[in-house]
Amino acid sequence: MPHVPVLLQEVIQMAAPRPGERVLDCTFGGGGHTAGILRQTNCYVLGIDRDPDANARAEIIKEQFKSRFDFEHMKFSEIGRLVEKHDKFDVVLFDLGLSSFQLDDADRGFSFMHCAKLDMRMSMEGESAYDIVNGISRKELSTVIDYFGDDPKASRIARAIDEARVKKPIETTWELADIVRSVYKLPPGQRKNSRTDAATKTFQAIRNLVNCELLELNRALENVVHIINNNARIITITFQGLEGRIIKCWAKSMKVCITPINKTVIRPSRQEIATNPRARSAILRGFVYTDDARVRSVGEGIQRSE
Ligand SMILES: C[S@@+](CC[C@H](N)C(=O)[O-])C[C@H]1O[C@@H](n2cnc3c(N)ncnc32)[C@H](O)[C@@H]1O
């Protein structure tokens, strides 16, 4: 399945890039949003991605848009260091989660749609899903599946994994998915009162831990205000409740300088979901940053009096 950028028109409308402005796409992926923004107006985009495979896709965009586009292979938790060699940005985009390139590449071991060695590393380095599923304690597994996956049967799934790995290590996506489904007593592709597979939440939880996804997001949000201009727009697309909660807490804590663009969140239309089912749980939020000298002096005053 090709990667189709989610909520593209809505993102462009919210980002409202103007000629000469600078956009940071923190989740370049296949460059779908980047290309859409570059086509919209004569602006500049810096794309970043932690996945080394994104380099080749960035080269195609570079060929097309020349000096209006650059790419850096890095994690978005590190965006603070961009100020060392880049001017500040007017738009910052986070389209969280996985691209179709990652999901559909069997060798990456993200999805139970393919039988592959458990991996799930976006950066292709560090501990893999195999290491975690076979290495952490039953209690830790249960906590991870409960917290990151919000699966009500987390402790039973952890027990089933523990019992299976005593006999032999759990090596593939299909082995892990079958163990989770055995707890739900359901065949592949089904879950009681739901259209998603019983293994979905466990896979989401393990992937989250492998890639420290929530920590990455928290660090990026901490740093983003240091790399943006006055009136910059920060756009987020989330697919998991926990990510959404982090964004909401951040916006609340920054309300002195961050204002939501829309009163309510934006979701894909039925038509978009019909043509791109992977968009179904996407939630779009946008914020405007105001670097107001009065706001800064209030902040400094609070700090001094503490
Ligand atoms: C949903 S895809 C983005 C798709 C892109 N907007 C497009 O239209 O092609 C998310 C991308 O973000 C990358 N990513 C996720 N977490 C990241 C992080 N902490 N730092 C940098 N890139 C990250 C993933 O590797 C993936 O390529």
Q: Which amino acid residue places its CA nearest to atom 8 of ligand 1? A: 32
Residue 47 in contact with ligand 1 by CB distance below 6 A: no
- Reply yes or no on whether the pLDDT at 1 is more than 80: no
What pLDDT is stored for residue 292 in this prediction?
73
What domains does the chain contain, in order, with CATH numbers? 8-95+214-305 (3.40.50.150), 101-211 (1.10.150.170)
Task: Determine the length of the chain.
Answer: 306
Radius of gyration of the chain, Cα coordinates, nearest whole angstrom = 21
Cβ neighbours of residue 222 closer than 8 Å, sequence gap 6 or more: none
Residue 278 in contact with ligand 1 by CB distance below 6 A: no
**CA–CA gap between residue 206 and residue 202 (Å, rounded):** 6
Residue 17 in contact with ligand 1 by CB distance below 6 A: no
Query: For 162-207, what is each residue's pLDDT tens digit?
Result: 999 999 999 999 999 999 999 998 766 655 556 689 999 999 999 9
From 7, 11, 50, mutation site for ligand 1 pocket: most ligand atoms within 8 A of C-beta: 50
More confident residue, 158 or 304: 158
Residue 120 in contact with ligand 1 by CB distance below 6 A: no
pLDDT-based confidence at residue 299 (cuts at 50, 70, 90): very low
Residues facing residue 117 across a β-bridge: 172
Q: What does the mean pLDDT of the chain come to?
A: 93
SS3 191: strand
Question: Given the CA of residue 36, which atom of ligand 1 is nearest to it?
Answer: 8
Residue 49 in contact with ligand 1 by CB distance below 6 A: yes
Q: Are strands 44-49 and 69-73 parallel, antiparallel or unpaired?
A: parallel
Average pLDDT of span 141-147? 98
Question: Given the CA of residue 75, which atom of ligand 1 is nearest to it?
Answer: 20
Q: Ligand 1 centroid to 62 CA: how many Å? A: 18
What pLDDT is stored for residue 105 in this prediction?
95
